[in-house]
Amino acid sequence: MAPYKMLHPLLFLSALIALSELAALFSDDARVKYPFDTPTATLRPTRYEIPLGGNVTLSCFVDGSDNWTILWYRAATYGSKDEPMTEYEGKKAINVSQGGIYHCRGRSDSGSITHQSNAAIIEDTLPITAILTLKPNWTKIYMGETFTVRCDIQGGEGTYWSYDWRPKRFTTYYTTNERTFYNVGWDDNGDYQCRGKTDLSFTQWSNVIPVTVSFKLHPVLTLSPSWLSPGASVTLNCEVEYPSEGWSFSWYKAVPYYKITEEPYTYELLPDGSKTAQSLYIITGQTSTAAYVCRAERGSNYYYTYYSDPKFVWSADASSAASLTVGPVVQNFGSDFVKLTCKGNSSSWRVRKFPENGRPYCSNFWLSGESVCTIDTTYSDDGVYWCESMLKEFSNAVNITLQDFYSGPLMVVPVDPVNEGTFVSLSCNLRRKKIFPNVAFYHNDKLVQNDSREELNFLAVSKSDEGFYKCQYSGKESPSRYMTVKSTVPPEIFSQNESSENSPLHPGSAAVYESANKNGRHWKWSVRRAVAAKQKRILL
């Protein structure tokens, strides 16, 4: 076998050139093609959406030289054949208003052709407007609900459409004209629109439907009357926003729940109280204190709102099963307390109040036996009080105004006699949270001060200030208290041997002026003798 010999590189290149020229002579279009580094045309823009009635300018260029004749091609749809656009031959930029997939090439004077350019995908807008509807057509959407948007294209019947949606995060082409959003939340807020798409054409964008997702609805229950009277019925009314938008209502009785730290009540469905179309529910024959709640729902995939807050109807009639008694008033550490006592069939009780005002008193735990709850009148926490038992019983209710149990303020005076000329402060112990502006002080039944101060001060008390004092607050008067003022005898000022130089009026003596109180009614002078060193020696 003859040994293999490598062909010289120059001979190999010459052979390739000869073959290419030979192929050009026998090709169908007789065009010369470059065997190496064939230029490529570039087309801009690569993608554009033409608005209704608009156009776009396409530009084609070949790198390295301007001596190229530009050839244009258009495919009407995806997958269709490129058709030459001979009317634009030789133009480096053209204006088009039709959708399509555009390409370009460059041809040299010698007839060589560049590679085909990149595609320019041009989409146009049809004179058709999509119509967006919301189902169900509710004014407000609540968290957890379901809604559907539907896109209809009038005049586009018989055309295969896909659909484009806004907000942008939902911009994906769907072949169905409906989109349903389940268990909606904050991410579903936005302005919704749609349009149809067929191949390289769009309809115009639809109308805008704003969707705002709100917190879950909290229905409000009202009832009438609040206090039961013999033979009267009780009307419950469950109020929601936009009541005409397909709501149905369910009605419950609230009963005491033994796990107070979790929920104070559980709910039991009332007779025929499930999914009523009316927002009213009437109860007849109710004779004792009771609590009720309501709940609302709507839509084919029912969305259940929160329960309403419990609302109460109260009865003043006590029964052997459950009763509340009030009183007496007891005092402890200078404050007044009212005793509430629960009695009845149950062994465990709690006391509730309306309005609660953040002070549930004895409602945070169950009290055993004949339970007693004491209420501090300091806070003036007026309201309706009643007892609840673990046997799901309610006692009679009592409307308590704690002012009626307020025994009044206390006048505080020094127990021991006070020295004349000294500072003395008397005070009024209100024994409750101050809710009224003025406190009045009386001396021997004569008003001496009436303003916001709770103290009566004497800068230098005098003998005339001695007597009975009392204070008045919130229509209640304290018991009178007596203040004793002790006189002070001034020291001997003169001796028989002292000259007039040492008299109290002499500059060598010091006179001290003291004021009794700010009203300027009482004054007192005291004189202190200043003794010179010489006189001290005489006395010694």
Condensed to tens digits (0 to 9), the pLDDT of residues 352-399 reads 888 876 665 576 677 776 777 887 776 667 889 999 888 888 999 999
Instruction: Inform me whether the pLDDT recorded for 5 exceeds 50.
Output: no
Model pLDDT, residue 319: 82
Kindly state the helix (H) or strand (E) to which residue 535 belongs, with its residue range.
helix 533-539
Is the sign of the CA dihedral 346, 350, 351, 353 positive or negative? negative
Angle at 462 between CA 456 and CA 464, to 5 degrees: 90
Contacts of 487 (CB under 8 A, 6+ apart): 420, 463
State the average pLDDT over residues 282-303. Answer: 86
Contacts of 9 (CB under 8 A, 6+ apart): none
d(CA 269, CA 254): 9
Model pLDDT, residue 346: 86
Give, as one character, the DSSP assignment of residue 277.
Answer: S
Q: Where are the alpha helices (DSSP H) in 298-340?
A: none
Structure tokens at 8: 């010289």
Q: Around Cβ 296, how many Cβ atoms within 10 Å? A: 24
Q: Around Cβ 256, how many Cβ atoms within 10 Å? A: 24
Q: Which of 432, 472, 482 is nearest to 448 (CA)?
A: 472
Q: Which residue has the higher pLDDT, 111 or 34?
A: 111
Tokens 């009975």 map to which residue?
468
90 burial class (0-12, 13-18, 19+ CB within 10 angstroms)? Answer: exposed
Instruction: Inform me whether the pLDDT recorded for 492 exceeds 60.
Output: no
d(CA 347, CA 391): 9
Q: Which residue has the higher pLDDT, 293 or 305?
A: 293
Instruction: Inform me whether the pLDDT recorded for 495 exceeds 50.
Output: no
Q: Which residues are paired to 336 by β-bridges?
A: 331
Instruction: Inform me whether the pLDDT recorded for 418 exceeds 50.
Output: yes
* Confidence label for 241 from pLDDT (cuts 50, 70 and 90): confident
Q: Which residues are paired to 134 by β-bridges?
A: 149
Instruction: Provide the CA 324 distance to its chain's centre, in angstroms.
Output: 39
Q: Which of 314, 322, 487 is nearest to 388 (CA)?
A: 322
Kindly state the helix (H) or strand (E) to which residue 446 belongs, with its residue range.
strand 446-451
Q: Report the range of poorest mean pLDDT among 445-459, 486-500, 504-518.
A: 504-518
* Confidence label for 496 from pLDDT (cuts 50, 70 and 90): very low
Greatest mean pLDDT range, 2-11, 232-241, 428-437: 232-241
Model pLDDT, residue 150: 95
User: Measuring CA to CA, how many Å separate 53 from each of 44, 125, 130, 400?
Assistant: 21, 8, 17, 78
Q: Report the range of poorest mean pLDDT among 24-33, 194-203, 210-219, 411-420.
A: 24-33
Sheet strands (E) in 306-347? 311-313, 322-332, 335-344
Tokens 């009523």 map to which residue?
276
Contacts of 535 (CB under 8 A, 6+ apart): 498, 502
State the average pLDDT over residues 169-186. Answer: 80
d(CA 191, CA 359): 46
d(CA 97, CA 112): 30
* Confidence label for 115 from pLDDT (cuts 50, 70 and 90): very high
Model pLDDT, residue 360: 56
State the average pLDDT over residues 492-500. Answer: 43
* Confidence label for 11 from pLDDT (cuts 50, 70 and 90): very low
> For 468, how many CA atoms within 13 A lie in the half-sphere containing its CB?
7
Q: Which residue has the higher pLDDT, 524 or 20?
A: 20
Model pLDDT, residue 528: 35
State the average pLDDT over residues 95-115. Answer: 93
Q: Which residue has the higher pLDDT, 537 or 405?
A: 405
Q: What average pLDDT does the chain have?
A: 80
Model pLDDT, residue 334: 61
* Confidence label for 172 from pLDDT (cuts 50, 70 and 90): low
State the average pLDDT over residues 183-208. Answer: 92
250 burial class (0-12, 13-18, 19+ CB within 10 angstroms)? Answer: buried
* Cβ atoms of residues 211 and 190 within 8 Å: yes
Instruction: Inform me whether the pLDDT recorded for 516 exceeds 50.
Output: no
Helix or strand or coil: residue 194?
A: strand
Kindly state the helix (H) or strand (E) to which residue 13 belongs, with its residue range.
helix 9-26
* Cβ atoms of residues 534 and 502 within 8 Å: no
